[in-house]
A and B are shown apart, each in its own frame.
Chain A
Amino acid sequence: MQYRADLHIHTCLSPCGSLEMSPRAIVQRALEVGINLIGIADHNNTSNCVTFEKICKETAGIECLYGLEATTAEEIHVVCLFDTVMQAKEFGDYWYSTLTPVKNIPEKLGDQVYVDEDDGILGEVEIFLNSASTIGIDGLRVLVHERGGLVVPAHVDRSSNSLSSQLGYLPPGDFDALELSKFFVARSRRVDELNLQGMGSCPFVTASDAHYLHDIGKAYIEFEVDELSVEALRAVLEKKRFSKVSNARVL
């Protein structure tokens, strides 16, 4: 089956994510723009994933990988995705417990709500989700791989919270891919321009990093697998049998 996948989407749970980003609205928007695989990656928490599972099960033409965008101790953002909500939640609950406990103040920092299929608020997350974990990127990679997940350092070209801004090199270890931001890909920039030593042959992907509905599908990857799974996707990435597309508007 052919997939057009946007594997980095925030929901209303992320403090920087718009409140319009309910699971139902995200799925609807994804279908509208031709995305048939979404990756749910809120900052450091997976509380909205279970609602996505419900909606995707009853909606034809859309599949989901579940996870979060981890903030490591070095303040590098890393997209971590799993096959099932159960796997994502187990990891997510643990990861959330490792965050430096800065209490969220919704009026100043943003709402952190998780909702049901009808956009009804189920609860609010207490710790500020743009806080960082005490666990570094190496520790994170091991934890996620042990649980069968995918590890993709996010927006490596960005000037903040990226491998290039925080480290300037790719640490040794098997990262599944490196994510370029939608603007980097849209500008057709070259990876050798990045401030990133030791990239080796790690594949580069892209995704929207959508915090608003209109950004969903602005960047995606296309690939084909017989049956979707993290393992199948990992193999596709390793063999580089996918293409990257961005139609982000570059000013």
Chain B
Amino acid sequence: MKIDELAATLGYTIVSRQYENREIADGYTSDLMSDVMGNAQEESLLITIQAHRNSVAVAVQLDFAGILICNGRAAPAEMLDAASEHGLAVLTTDENQFVSSYRVYLAIKGAC
């Protein structure tokens, strides 16, 4: 499932200006970027509340499909600038990470 379709299906807002509508192969939920770097798969959607430029750096490094920021947190301008520079999709939701993880999992992998 691609970013646009995920956002439309699950009701997430895409806040980055320029982004590549990537296929989401997997998801990873973590707020520790060192953990993400050590364990996440490429082409994942990062589900986090770490709304800052470092998350973009890690996501780009790992060739992620995008970042979903939970808990209604806003993506600051410098994060969105960095994301747009790399064509990385950044989405936001009011859901917490528990709910988002479940919903995104179902959407991209189907029911367990």
Name A residues whose Cβ lies closer than 8 Å to a Cβ of B. Answer: 71, 74-75, 100, 102, 108-109, 128, 130-132, 159-161, 165
Contact = CB atoms under 8 A, between A and B. Distances in A.
Given A109-B61, A161-B54, A132 B76 contact: no
Contact of B34 (A102, A108, A109, A159): A102
Main secondary structure of the interface of B (DSSP, over half): helix
Contacts of A100: 34, 38
Contacts of A132: 32, 34
B94 to A, nearest CB: 19
Interface string B31-59: 01110011000000000001111100000
B38 A75 contact: no
Q: Please list the 10 inter-chain residue pairs (A to B) with the smallest Cβ-Cβ separation, ordered nearest first.
A: A132-B34, A160-B52, A102-B37, A131-B34, A160-B54, A75-B32, A159-B52, A100-B34, A100-B38, A108-B61
Interface string B74-109: 001000000000000000000000000000000000
Nearest to A108: B61
Contacts of A159: 51-52, 76
Nearest to B32: A75
27 contacts: A71-B34, A74-B32, A75-B32, A75-B33, A75-B34, A100-B34, A100-B38, A102-B34, A102-B37, A102-B38, A108-B61, A109-B61, A128-B37, A130-B34, A131-B34, A131-B37, A132-B32, A132-B34, A159-B51, A159-B52, A159-B76, A160-B50, A160-B52, A160-B53, A160-B54, A161-B54, A165-B50
Contacts of B53: 160
